Amino acid sequence: HAVVSPMATFGYGVYVGPGTKVAAMACLGNHCSIMANAHISHDNQLGDFVYCANSVSISGGVSIGSTTYIGANSTIREYTNIGNRAIIGMGSVVVKDVADGQIVVGNPAKPIKNLTNLKLSDGTTGNAK
């Protein structure tokens, strides 16, 4: 079973997996999915459609933008900001802010690609959706 603080708030359609802990003052947006054995610490803000894979650990005061993916066994340092549509690779240790559309991997997590201003097949530039 999951352990959820009565002082945490959830949007619509949120899933919290078994063994997960959600601390006081955590705020999860609509349609977030938090898989098994994750830890969402105090005072975190998760946007809509955030996906946290198994055993993710998010320290206190973290802000995560909408439509962001956090890979399994990743750790995010306290008071870090993660942008919209970002991807955190499996097992990453995030110690710095992550920009919108950025893909980061490793320990410490480093950017490997940005999903904004991509060259599209028609020769124009645009953002991944």
Catalytic residue (choose from 1, 31, 39, 42): 31
CA nearest 111: which of 127, 129, 95, 98? 98
Please name the residues in contact with 124: beta carbons below 8 A apart, sequence gap of 6 or more. none
Catalytic, 1? Answer no
Q: List active site positions.
A: 31
